[in-house]
Amino acid sequence: MNLSAYISRKTFLSFRKSFTRSIIRISIIATALSLSVMIISQSIFNGFQKEIAQKVFGFWGHIHITDIQSNRSIEPITIKLTEGLLDSLSFFIPPGYTESPIKHVQRFLVYPSIAGSKEEFEGLFIKGLDSDFDWNFFSEFLNRGRILHSSDSGWVREILISEETANRLNVDTGHYVILNFIVDNEHLKRKLKVVGVFNTGLGEYDRRFALADIHMLQQIMHKGPSDVTGLELFCKNIIQTDSVSNYIYENILPLDLYSESIREKFPNIFEWLSLQNTNKLFILFLIMAVCLINMSTTVMILILERTHMIGVLTVLGMSPWNQRKIFLRYAARILMWSMLLGNAIGYGLCLFQKKYHLIHLSESDYYLSYAPVDLSILPILMLNLIFFIVIILSMIIPSLIIQSIRPVKALRFR
């Protein structure tokens, strides 16, 4: 029989002094609140990073394939697609993979314009979309109206604009805008009907881009159906994006094409998101330190409360380490009750925030109108495991005070 476990189990509930009982209750509540704050902090930070990354990926895809000169030229540069290239990008299997890492491939064409209504004008990049465009992303952020219709003959005279552009041009769904293009020193106009207004929260992109039919842009640029600005590739696993992009560039693309991940194309956003990890770790470390101080104080109070018991056990021959294990078990009991309460509070508040969006943010600054939460179970389980291990191991230090207690003085202490 484990003697320290037996003594701990039999004596933990026998703290008769109201002061000691109050200390234990306060410790449970304080530790539970610390854990709940850590759960909420981690869930918000992880949710924030996932939501922003998902918006950027949804707008641009995971991998971009364009002409190698496109980033160095002001003029729009197109590439000519072939069926062989599209098949190679859709079905290639890199070494170490059992299936193609690419989930979806879609083409796009971007050309600058000046959009005008009756009173206002706004510079916009028109992003032309083909029938292969995946509308799942924009369906979530479509404030009103509908997505673009596709047509087998001709091109659709419709356009999707952002909420910010709609406000600047003073137009709404059902209204018309005039797009002005300069092609080979020739001024061309196209009248399009606004069929939808979206708001992704990515202000930098919302104010610069509108969505239209790719065939319209190909017509005004005197290009064929296979001429596009580039391709957007979506990976089945986002983590593999960089390695897949490098493999495509080195093994599949011709010399005049270039492949880069969106992390490389827009490093400022992803560097800012990575910086949030530093903030998260600092907050978690600070809360953990407060919790350690609280638990250490509680363990030392329990040791002082049990000074007479320590003297008796020392006289009976119990080793200091076995005595320390008694108080470590006390700490484990307090910690388990705290973790149950802390998880209930933390996860419950996260569920509440996910459903009702009580914490609001400035969308112009944070790309989101509310604080998102990530309710994935694995990160929370890992946080609980690390929390328990760190706290219990740290309690070994305050339990060292047992070795300094002399049995002669301890037996007088009642």
Q: What percent of the chain has pLDDT over 90?
A: 56
**Cα gap 214→66, rounded to integer Å:** 16
| Residues whose CB falls within 8 Å of the CB of residue 409, separated by 6 or more in sequence, listed in order | 311
Whether the predicted pLDDT of 343 surpasses 70: yes
Whether the predicted pLDDT of 413 surpasses 60: no
**Cα gap 286→289, rounded to integer Å:** 5
Mean pLDDT of the chain: 88
Helix (H) or strand (E) holding 159: strand 158-162
Which residue type is seen at 40?
I
Contact 28, 12 (CB under 8 A): no
* Tokens found for residue 27: 């410790």
Helix (H) or strand (E) holding 135: none
More confident residue, 163 or 304: 163
pLDDT at 119: 76
Per-residue pLDDT of 62-99, as tens digits, reads: 999 999 887 655 567 899 998 899 999 989 999 989 99
Confidence band, pLDDT 50/70/90 cuts, at residue 404:
confident
**Cα gap 1→263, rounded to integer Å:** 58
Instruction: Tell me which long-range contacts 131-140 makes (C-beta under 8 A, separation of at least 24).
Output: 132/105, 132/106, 132/107, 133/106, 133/108, 134/104, 134/106, 134/234, 136/58, 137/58, 137/59, 138/58, 138/198, 138/200, 138/211
pLDDT at 73: 55
